[in-house]
Amino acid sequence: MKLINRYVNEVGKHLPLIQGREDIEKELRSTLEDMLEERAQKAGRPADETMEIELLKAYGSPQKVAQTYNPHPYLVGPRVYPFFLMILKIVFFGIVIGLSVVTIIQLLSQLSTGVAFMSPDFMKTILQGAGKIISTGIAAFGYVVVAFVLIERLVPDLKFDFEEEKEWDPAALAKEPDANSVSRGELITEIVFTFVGLAILNFYQQILGMYFFSGEQSFFIPLFSDEFQKFIPWINLIFLAEIAVDIYLLRNAVWTTATRVAKIIIEGASLVLAVLIIRTPNILGVTAESLANSPFTPERAEQFFKIANVSFSITLIAVIITVSIELIKAVIGLVKSINSKQSK
Amino acid sequence: MTNTEPVENVVLELRRGVIVLAALSQLSVEQYGYSLLKKLSEQGLEVDQGTLYPLLRRLEAQGLLESVWKLEEARPRRYYVISAEGKKILPKLKKEWADIVSVMKKFLA
């Protein structure tokens, strides 16, 4: 029986600890001893090691036998895999955004301490930032995998119902938005934000700036200089046009060729305006002179000035990129709608 | 021989679908794993031990079988017998089987 015992032990090593290893081992041992006895009877002689060996050989390798007792031989099984992917996406998204923000802040503070834009030190920070994103991403991947391995192992036979499945209604497919429809939610959001922007720019510029208190005096430095004020009528025009088009779209929530073209014009004009603004020097009210009156020391003022400029440039570049994308989307939408109308 | 592998796999698949019903049908009398294996084999259904024993455990986990350890002749044996739940669904399974057989007869005629 020695070999049988060793064999059973070997099988046991490959069995999950929690889910009945001892029980399986016991049953296996009992079965094998029965089988051995039978062999001995058939052979007409008492069981010996050779017989044991033959029996165990016929029974199969310990790993194979252990495997038959394992109903879910997966690291991350098919039941949890959809969740796994979903969580991975969320985690990665968060990491990329979070670390990017941190890196950008580092870059900005570097600039304020006199490091030149695109200098070796600057680039080093960028590369380090990218490196951090990658390494944190890999570590996070590992944590998520470990978590899901535990779930897979310790929650053996639960059924995971992906909630969406229950609520998914094929009728929703029948209502598939045709390419010409517009989301009312998006429209309303756009209208509200454009309104707010309009109001702030025209009536509440006081909040766009910085206040300082020094002793009993207070200073206010506006964000935008007088140069900028020249652009305001144009910006107003664009905002108003955008609001008008959006309100018109709200009525039917459907694009027409006219509205598509109007949108394209607005986006194009926004793009031009953004480019003009970024190319205008002295757009910001935060200048070296205006800061001279503030409690900042000249060096700090200088740094502040640089940070403000760079932040503003970055913001404008982001705006330009976004508007360009919207413009391209609008043009593509127009082309597609014209094509589909022609082919009808 | 790769030629016979697909055939063997299909045959295995065929048998696998039947084993649960076969086991349940024979366990109105309590048996231990090895005795059930032999009984099925004697009556013409060859089942691999790697299939049967885990299957018995699974059926017990699902509540269709009950098991108890008995000590006989200094050897502990785990006896399985059909549970009340199993007795309830067995007639349904039998009917299901009869339906399948009659349908298949038509297909294979």
Give the pLDDT band (50/70/90) at residue B92.
Answer: very high
A157–B57: do the CB atoms touch at under 8 Å? no
Interface contact flag, A30 B32, Cβ < 8 Å: yes
Is residue A201 domain-shared with residue A163, that is, in the same domain? no
Quickly state the pLDDT bin for A172 (edges 50, 70, 90): low
What average pLDDT does range B51-79 have in this prediction? 90
**Residue A289 falls within a domain, yes or no?**
yes
A213 and A337 co-located in one domain = yes
Same domain (yes/no): A265, A293: yes
What chain B holds in terms of domains, given with CATH numbers, is 5-108 (1.10.10.10)
Q: Is residue A158 part of a domain?
A: yes
In terms of C-beta distances under 8 Å and separation of at least 24 residues, what long-range contacts does A257-263 make, across chains too?
A257/A334, A257/A337, A257/A338, A260/A330, A260/A333, A260/A334, A260/A337, A261/A334, A263/A330
Measured CA to CA, the distance from residue A25 to residue B52 in angstroms comes to: 15
Task: Give the mean pLDDT of A14-30.
Answer: 83
pLDDT of A203-253, one tens digit each? 766 666 655 555 566 666 666 777 777 888 888 888 888 888 888 787 777
Contact A132, A155 (CB under 8 A): no
Distances (CA, A) of A292 to A51, A305, A322: 100, 11, 35
A92 shares its domain with A165: yes
Interface of A with B (CB under 8 A): 20, 23-24, 26-28, 30-31, 33-35, 59-60, 64-65, 68-69, 71, 157
A156 pLDDT higher than 60: no
Residue A328 pLDDT exceeds 60: yes
Domain hosting A48: range is: 2-68
Closest Cβ opposite residue A26 in set B49, B50, B76? B76
Do residue A267 and residue A187 come from a single domain?
Answer: yes
- Can you give the pLDDT at residue B89? 92
> Where residue B42 falls among pLDDT bands split at 50, 70, 90?
very high
B30 - beta bridge partners? Answer: none
Does A201 lie in the same domain as A267?
Answer: yes
pLDDT in tens, A277-304: 777 766 666 565 666 665 566 676 677 7
A197 domain-assigned: yes
Mark which of A19, A42, A68 sits at the end of a domain.
A68
- The distance of A4 to chain B (nearest Cα, Å) reads 14
Q: Where are the beta strands (DSSP E) in chain A?
A: 209-214, 217-222
> Structural domain tally of chain A?
3
A41 located within any domain: yes
As a whole number, mean pLDDT of residues A79-90 equals 83
Does A226 fall in a domain?
Answer: yes
Residue A148 lies in a domain: yes
**Interchain CB contact of B67 with A (< 8 Å):** no
Q: Does B55 touch chain A (CB under 8 A)?
A: no
- Domain termination site, one of A42, A68, A94: A68
Other Cβ atoms within 10 Å of A277 Cβ, number:
19
pLDDT, average across residues A87-107: 81
pLDDT tier, A331 (very low <50, low <70, confident <90, very high otherwise): confident
Domain-terminating residue out of A28, A47, A68: A68
Structure tokens at B45: 């259904």
Both A197 and A319 in one domain: the answer is yes
A22: which chain B residues are within 8 Å (Cβ-Cβ)? none
Q: Is B16 an interface residue toward A (CB < 8 Å)?
A: no
Q: Which residues pair with B68 in a beta bridge?
A: B79
Closest CA to B59 of B29, B19, B95: B19
Please report which helix (H) or strand (E) contains residue B69, including its range.
Answer: strand B65-72
Q: Are A112 and A304 in contact (CB under 8 A)?
A: yes
Span of A55-64, A117-126, A237-246, B35-44 with lowest mean pLDDT = A117-126
Pairing of strands A209-214, B31-32: unpaired
Count of beta carbons in the 10 Å neighbourhood of residue A93: 10
Q: Does residue A75 belong to any structural domain of this protein?
A: no
Is A74 within a domain?
no
Q: Are residue A46 and residue A144 in the same domain, yes or no?
A: no
Residues A195 and A321 in one domain: yes
User: Taking the CA atoms of chain A, what radius of gyration do you get in angstroms?
Assistant: 35
**Same domain, residue pair A51 and A102:** no
For the packed helices B84-108 and B5-26, what is the interaxial angle rounded to 10 degrees?
140
User: Are B33 and A31 an interchain contact pair (Cβ–Cβ within 8 Å)?
Assistant: yes
**A230 contacts A289 by C-beta, under 8 angstroms:** no
Mutant choice from B57, B58, B59, B65 vs A, greatest count of A C-beta within 10 A: B57
Considering the domain architecture, whether residues A286 and A163 belong to the same structural domain is answered as no
DSSP secondary-structure letter at A207? G
Best to test chain A binding among B71, B75, B79, B80 (most A CBs inside 10 Å): B75
My answer on whether A223 and A327 are in the same domain is yes
